[in-house]
Structure 1
Amino acid sequence: MNEEEIQQARHELIELKIEHSDLDHAIDLMLQNAYIDQLRLRRMKKRKLKLKDSIQRLESMIIPDMDA
């Protein structure tokens, strides 16, 4: 990766982490309510997992394995 690609990946990583944090907060708030929309909750959790996978992928691109 060249320096520009690394900077783009870092920027995307920050955005994904923010979205992941926002979803985590929204899920916590939803769970505090007496009425829970199970379908919406399931979709939010699925999106959160996809974000986590994307975050891990980007982090591994930016910070390569030391063994490599």
Structure 2
Amino acid sequence: MSIREHLTELERRHATLEKELESAKHHPSMDELEIGNLKRQKLKLKDEISRLRVTG
């Protein structure tokens, strides 16, 4: 997988997590721990995307 393909996949996963996070914020059964986990995953992807853009 090329860096460009990997970057595209990370961006897709980031967007998916953003949608999940927005949905979770409006769902009464989601607790703060689950929401925090989604935020951490999203931030980790964002950091990886930024790293690849600088090095790629």
Q: TM (normalized to structure 2)?
A: 0.89
Match of 1:12 among 6, 12, 16: 6
The corresponding residue for 1:59 is 53
Unaligned 5+ runs, structure 2: none
Please, which moves more after superposition, 47-56 or 30-39? 30-39
Aligned-pair identity in percent equals: 32
The number of aligned residues is 56
Match of 1:30 among 18, 24, 29: 24
Q: Which amino acid aligns with 1:49?
A: L
Once superposed, which parts of structure 1, at least 4 consecutive aligned residues long, lie more than 6 Å away? none
Distance in 2 (CA, whole Å) between partners of 1:37 and 1:9 is 36
RMSD, aligned α-carbons: 1.3
Unaligned 5+ runs, structure 1: 1-6, 63-68
Distance in 1 (CA, whole Å) between partners of 2:41 and 2:10 is 11
